[in-house]
Copies of this chain bind each other. A is one copy, B any other.
């Protein structure tokens, strides 16, 4: 199996461009495609609220539900705000697009940088949280959480390189499995709660219910952690174009259904964990403890854990749709390397996917596969993107001034203000936990984007045909120099080729071992086709420098304004390792000519004459 066959086995055979056709989905499937990131967030947000409050003991944990309510309030504001984005941008209004169009390029780039770090974090956090759902059920796997996370990452990456579409029916199964199994658990949980009455917190080895005082900082810090529940709610406004027409109407419907589901699941799980006083351990997540409390450790419990894993995998998968899309838009606008905008064999942005997979893998390794350690980095990017996108919408309405514009501006303004406040809370309270890293990363990304853009602009300018005179006089035939290592068939091939394109040919022999010179000169007399041979000494036994000096000299001696063309006899061994047995002078010389000797505005052509060897 050669490389090509292996590749086709792994990711499938290439697809032709015409297969790239827009697909429209009904609301149920579009919702399944766009909501997993948002819905799955409750799997870790709940746990983060617990961990934030537990240091203040049972008294602290009493704040769980109120904090969850505050977050749901934020959810309502964001839903109203994003519904307006959906109506204004039926073709899809990502934060980058909205911020760039309405506020300016640099703000757009900040939003893009925030979005991209966020996509990487969604992938990393979803994978590690998914693995945590499984290791809660099978604690023996806990020691291998990094390997498991990376294995899932590889599987998701391969599936996406093949081209798993977020819109496929297959993808909606985990979403609805998750929604219905969790709704079932909540319903059964409420009945249990009525029968059992409230639980009380008992210390366990993991949490060691603490006795820190309940400070404002503690509450805000916990609120900031819980805000990770809101990640992903912008997805529908990014993907409005996937809905059947009228797109906006269907998308707004879907947005509302999603927000409703999120609210129920989030408040329900937080409420019940607080009511039952469910506590996580080092081996078990809080949702697993809740499910075990309600269902015992049987099949129903396992269904909950598996559906948690699956929705988190689908959520990680949404990064593989989102990140490459943003990267390709930036690449097309010249802010990222062009390669990120190329559609691969399978009609997906393969380079972007590989970049995302690499970054995600690095994060998982760096943080030892620990969701809780990754969370502080998470919310900053999301809320930067939220804020900029909504601020952009405010500007949009001010500019458009359509009927009722002030109400719309007010709604988005409210969104902007609340997310700005939330962002400040997150940035300050989580700063030393790791938010500083993202706050450093985003400006660095923006600087990188701008540097790349500057480079492309300068190149385009330099290569532009503007001001170039239409070539009238043809060039004279080139002067040719052939460096020869001796006299063999490859050299004769090169010589014959050189004579077929010019009459002005010189051969050059760099004399490293003076004992061989006479033999070479005699052979040349017989085989050299009358071409003059220059022998140049090399007291330091180097080949490249004396040859380059000769080239400079001969260019100076001829006033034709051209640089001499170098014809390189090269031989290509039959097997790659045999290259180690030859000393690669041709390659070194080529690199020296191309990179070390810069000749702005003048052309030094290099002609390779390869001789392929059978051995």
Contacts and interface: CB of A to CB of B under 8 A. Distances in A.
Interface in A463-484: 463-465, 468, 470-471, 474-478
A347 to B, nearest CB: 8
Interface stretch (A12-20, A102-110, A313-321, A365-373): A12-20
B539 A578 contact: no
A605 B612 contact: no
B600 A612 contact: yes
A313 to B, nearest CB: 29
A455 to B, nearest CB: 6
Given A343-B541, A603-B497, A464 B489 contact: yes
A554 interface: no
A478 B497 contact: yes
A492 B465 contact: yes
Interface stretch (A173-181, A408-416, A591-599): A591-599
Interface stretch (A162-170, A247-255, A389-397, A498-506): A498-506
Interface string A141-163: 00000000000000000000000
B455 A614 contact: no
A607 interface: yes
Given A468-B492, A475-B499, A497-B603, A459 B16 contact: no
A582 interface: yes
Contacts of A581: 337-338, 452, 455-456
B614 A600 contact: yes
Copies of this protein, total: 2
A488 B488 CA distance: 39
Interface in A558-615: 570-574, 576, 578, 580-583, 590, 593-595, 598-600, 603-615
A500 B488 contact: no
A487 interface: yes
Q: Which of A468, A529, A605 has the most CB of B within 10 A?
A: A605
A318 to B, nearest CB: 25
A542 interface: yes
Contacts of A471: 492, 496, 529
A434 interface: no
Nearest to A489: B463
A489 B462 contact: yes
Contact of A580 (B337, B501, B539, B572): B337
A447 to B, nearest CB: 14
A549 B261 CA distance: 55
A271 to B, nearest CB: 51
B475 A496 contact: yes
A343 B514 CA distance: 13
Contact-residue bracket for chain A: 35 or more
A527 interface: yes
B462 A474 contact: no
Nearest to A581: B337
Nearest to A16: B539
A538 to B, nearest CB: 8
Contacts of A606: 607-608, 610
B468 A489 contact: yes
Contacts of A464: 488-489
A345 interface: yes
B474 A16 contact: no
A406 to B, nearest CB: 41
A142 to B, nearest CB: 32
Nearest to A472: B529
A471 B459 CA distance: 45
Contact of A465 (B487, B576, B598, B604): B487
A6 interface: no
A610 B583 contact: no
Contact of A605 (B456, B488, B599, B608): B608
Contacts of A580: 337
Contact of A594 (B456, B489, B610): B610
B474 A603 contact: no
A474 B458 contact: no
A358 interface: no
Contacts of A490: 463
A102 B582 CA distance: 31
B583 A339 contact: yes
Contacts of A574: 598
Given A541-B343, A608-B594, A501 B502 contact: yes
Interface of A: 14-18, 337-339, 342-345, 452, 455-456, 458-459, 462-465, 468, 470-471, 474-478, 487-490, 492-493, 496-497, 499-502, 514, 523, 527, 529, 539-542, 570-574, 576, 578, 580-583, 590, 593-595, 598-600, 603-615
6 contacts: A14-B540, A343-B541, A458-B613, A458-B614, A471-B529, A594-B608
